[in-house]
């Protein structure tokens, strides 16, 4: 069972790393070519929603950051 969990964790970690690279690439392409895919706009929209939610948005952001730090 531990082997299965370790294998699944490895796959998820690889997938998350791939998503990080794709988001970074999307931001760079958005800066260079006028945000063709809308990545920068979507990130801005997410930040706006977090800001409008006040304390709930702040708590969600802290949870995401703490989760990210524990994964590393």
Domain count across the chain: 1
Residue 37 structural domain: 2-71
Residues 6+ apart with CB under 8 A from 51: 57
Number of other CB atoms surrounding residue 60 within 10 Å = 13
| Predicted TM-score (pTM) of this structure | 0.58
Residue by residue, pLDDT tens for the chain (72 residues) are: 889 888 988 898 899 889 888 888 888 888 888 877 787 788 888 778 777 777 777 777 777 777 777 655
Instruction: Report residue 41 as tokens.
Output: 């706009």
């Amino acid at each position: 069972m531990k082997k299965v969990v370790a294998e699944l964790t490895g796959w998820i970690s690889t997938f998350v790393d791939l998503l990080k690279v794709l988001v970074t690439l999307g931001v760079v392409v958005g800066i260079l070519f006028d945000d063709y895919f809308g990545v920068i706009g979507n990130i801005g929209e997410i930040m706006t929603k977090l800001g409008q939610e006040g304390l709930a948005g702040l708590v969600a952001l802290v949870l995401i950051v703490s989760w990210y730090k524990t994964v590393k």
